Chain A
């Protein structure tokens, strides 16, 4: 008894309540997320369907669409279009669709419920499950970008920082929207249906293949508020210094141009986080 008591006191002293992020607390959080991510990566590598969707589909889609010359004339060079569509498709397939399936699978097999009975916090669980998909998406984007430099004479970006912001922000938005979409996804099979609306709307109206200014005015305005649009715009701006048909601006001026899409991107992060907090279920509905 006394042994337990002193142990209890010792540990109580070290783990005072509160949420101030001390180095020790951040380290603990990273350690927990890493452990869960490593297991999730194993699961991803053992799941052929998910791996195919994640690794092959975005690449195949980009190659196919280039083959049929789906890009309407937008003034951007082909290499840039390829890389930007790859970024968009990686976010939609690998991050969004893949994570909806994974979150729902873990929920339905009661894994999320079990994880919540441990030391991981709720955000740590969501993050830990997401890391492998995010890593896969980032790897694809880097690979295709390097490939485009070598094979397609991709030009050097005017403002690479904006591209990095776009990718990181896009990942945050689509991880959160994936978590939020699980609320309307009863099982893994349903994920194909429940992700379709956002998926289709983003593929068509986010400027991935059809430039927004070739759309009717109102539609183009609405389209600029979609979650993927600011990612595409920031990438284009970062690469060639212009979002649309306007004349390119220089490095310093791109920051001003980036303000509007950045605000929309941040707004989607807030919306995604709010929807997730509100609607995410940790166990199956009975």
Chain B
């Protein structure tokens, strides 16, 4: 069966010549949640805007429910719901008035009360939008996006600025929509959000897709880590040859990175067993999504596939903070 969203060699160039999206291809299947991850400026929103039909593609092709979302806007829109990263609502209307106005523009709207209930805003229905908190406004925006019972839902950083409880609530609502058969394409820079919700994901970097697949597949693209300590009686050079790269070695604790976790671990354990060595604090783990993300984000090469770049998995904490916190300043169209 054809994908609900088909993106084929999509390019998006802005008037100034900046190429925000450089030939990306992916598909979203019916009923799944596909997450677009990436650092700020990676091209997530630029991509999403084309798929939503808000902007034309500079190259390539996009199909949503089998149609061109930009040219066939009138026939695609009644079947999709869109939440923008930055959308505004008039401050002087109440939450309920805003939702009622939106509902009046839709082909097939849920009752306004239901939509507000879904996002936990029933109690705040009669409060003016300008008096709502940032998180509440965000949730009202989500309510508008789901008001038309969309088959396909686009969410651009839906939980940015939400408190942890509202985030969980939003996740539950999204899961409910997925259970009911809705297809969801969302962008986020919260990796736990992608891990919790996404059936499949793509990590974008500099306008390209650097990794894509299920969380498991994406994580498998990154080497696993083995971490252990050897006792005083042993020296580093007495260790066996291990398949992988030794990352940290202070003589006591050693961290090895390997593409073949089982083989490397077997080598290590056999050596320890043969020599009667106790490995202190032995830990073996696959890469985390965060490691993959940081590896992609840290790739400073401008061209080429991120796959063939060398890995540096020791980013400083400041860099991690820079990438993982959500400063949402964005370049805009035109």
Name the interface size band of chain B: 35 or more
Residues of A near B102 (CB, < 8 A) are 35, 118
**At the interface with chain B, which of A36-44, A195-203, A223-231, A265-273?**
A36-44
- A11-B78 in contact (CB<8A): yes
A247 at the interface (CB under 8 A from B): no
A150 at the interface (CB under 8 A from B): no
- B75-A16 in contact (CB<8A): yes
Residues of A near B93 (CB, < 8 A) are 39, 42-43
Measured CB to CB, the closest approach of chain A to B281, in angstroms, equals: 47
Distance between Cα atoms of A32 and B73 in the complex (Å): 15
Among B80-109, those with CB < 8 Å from A are 82-84, 86-93, 97-98, 100-107
- B72-A17 in contact (CB<8A): yes
Which of B30, B82, B91, B104 is in CB contact (< 8 Å) with A5?
Answer: B30
Residues of B near A120 (CB, < 8 A) are 105
**At the interface with chain B, which of A62-70, A107-115, A168-176?**
A107-115
Sample of 26 A–B contacts (CB below 8 Å): A4-B181, A8-B65, A8-B151, A11-B78, A11-B79, A12-B65, A15-B78, A17-B67, A31-B104, A35-B101, A36-B104, A36-B105, A39-B97, A39-B98, A39-B100, A111-B89, A113-B84, A113-B86, A114-B84, A114-B88, A114-B141, A118-B77, A118-B144, A119-B78, A119-B106, A286-B331
Among A148-176, those with CB < 8 Å from B are none
Known: A119-B148, A283-B332. A42 touches B30 (CB 8 A): no
- A39-B90 in contact (CB<8A): yes
Among B112-141, those with CB < 8 Å from A are 141
Among B281-334, those with CB < 8 Å from A are 331-334
Measured CB to CB, the closest approach of chain B to A268, in angstroms, equals: 27
Binding site for B on A (CB under 8 A): 1, 3-5, 7-8, 11-12, 15-17, 19, 28, 31-32, 34-36, 38-39, 42-43, 46-47, 106, 109-111, 113-114, 116-121, 281, 283-286
B54 at the interface (CB under 8 A from A): yes
Which of A16, A114, A285, A286 is in CB contact (< 8 Å) with B87?
Answer: A114
Known: A17-B67, A119-B148, A285-B332. 19 other contacts (CB 8 A): A4-B151, A8-B79, A17-B74, A28-B107, A35-B100, A35-B105, A38-B104, A39-B93, A39-B97, A43-B92, A106-B88, A109-B91, A113-B87, A117-B83, A118-B144, A119-B105, A120-B105, A283-B333, A285-B334
Measured CB to CB, the closest approach of chain A to B106, in angstroms, equals: 6
Known: A15-B78, A17-B67. A39 touches B101 (CB 8 A): yes
Name the CB-closest residue of A to B141: A114
Residues of B near A116 (CB, < 8 A) are 54
Measured CB to CB, the closest approach of chain B to A33, in angstroms, equals: 9
Residues of A near B334 (CB, < 8 A) are 281, 285
B31 at the interface (CB under 8 A from A): yes
- A46-B92 in contact (CB<8A): yes
Binding site for A on B (CB under 8 A): 30-31, 52, 54, 65-67, 72-75, 77-79, 82-84, 86-93, 97-98, 100-107, 141, 144, 148, 151, 181-183, 331-334
Residues of B near A39 (CB, < 8 A) are 90, 93, 97-98, 100-101
Name the CB-closest residue of A to B71: A17
Residues of A near B75 (CB, < 8 A) are 12, 15-17
Which of A19, A47, A118 is in CB contact (< 8 Å) with B105?
Answer: A118
- A111-B90 in contact (CB<8A): yes
Distance between Cα atoms of A116 and B105 in the complex (Å): 11
Distance between Cα atoms of A19 and B31 in the complex (Å): 30
Distance between Cα atoms of A283 and B266 in the complex (Å): 59
Residues of B near A8 (CB, < 8 A) are 65, 79, 151
- A4-B105 in contact (CB<8A): no
Measured CB to CB, the closest approach of chain B to A239, in angstroms, equals: 40
